[in-house]
Amino acid sequence: MGKMKALKKTGPCKGEIVDIDAPPIADDECLVRIKACGICAWDANTWKAEGPDPFGPGITGHEMAGVVAEVGRKSKKWKPGDKVVIYGVRSCGACPHCRRRNYRYCMKKSAIVNGFAEYVAAPWNRLLPMPRGVRFAEASLLIDIVGTPIHGLRRGGVGRKTTVAVWGLGPVGLGGVQGAKALGAPFVIGVDILANRRRAAERLGADVTLDPRQTPPVERMKELTEGEGMHVCLNAVAVDSVAQAAYDSLRLDGTLVLLAGQPQAKGQLEKNIRGSWYFHIDEYAKNLRLLRQRKLKLRPIISHRFPLSRAPEAFDLRVNHPDETLKVVITM
Ligand SMILES: [Zn+2]
Ligand SMILES: [Zn+2]
CA of 137 to the centre of ligand 2 (A): 30
- Rounded CA separation 287/176 (Å): 12
CA of 76 to the centre of ligand 2 (A): 19
Residue 326 CB contacts under 8 Å (≥ 6 apart), including other chains:
170, 171, 174, 196, 197, 200, 300, 301, 302, 303
CA of 205 to the centre of ligand 2 (A): 38
Residue 140 CB contacts under 8 Å (≥ 6 apart), including other chains:
36, 37, 38, 63, 64, 65, 85, 329
CA of 93 to the centre of ligand 2 (A): 5
- Rounded CA separation 170/109 (Å): 27
Q: How does DSSP classify residue 117?
A: B
Domains of the chain with bracketed CATH: 3-134+298-331 (3.90.180.10), 148-275 (3.40.50.720)
Taking 50 as the pLDDT cut, the residues of the chain under it are none
- Rounded CA separation 116/18 (Å): 11
For residue 27, which amino acid is it?
Answer: D
Sign of CA dihedral 243, 244, 248, 253: positive
Residue 284 CB contacts under 8 Å (≥ 6 apart), including other chains:
87, 128, 142, 147
- The pLDDT, as a whole number, for residue 267 is 65
